[in-house]
Amino acid sequence: MRDILSATQAAAVLGCGPQKVRERIRIGEWPGKIIPKAKTKKKSDTYEVNLYELAEYFHISEDEIRRRLAEKKGWERINL
């Protein structure tokens, strides 16, 4: 089971843009963590959001988060 979401996936669940998610994680307002680009060897930092922390913070059920992700075109359904 996959319980880590990217900033883009979290944005789709919340109905906002990925940049807003990254900014709120960076200032510590929303749950999530930043993985530095030096650690991942990528060009930019990576933002990860735990599905269960997101559900608890925004009072959305875990099944509802999975449903919202499943209805987005091109994204795999996260197994229950």
**Tens-digit pLDDT profile for residues 54-75:** 999 999 999 999 888 888 765 5
Q: What is the pLDDT of residue 71?
A: 83
pLDDT in tens, the chain (80 residues): 478 999 999 999 999 999 999 999 999 999 999 999 999 899 999 999 999 999 999 999 999 998 888 887 655 555 54
- Burial code (b: 16+ CB inside 10 Å, e: under 16) for 13-23 equals bbeeeeeebbe
Displacement of CA 40 from its chain's centroid (Å): 17
Domain ranges (residues) in the chain = 4-70
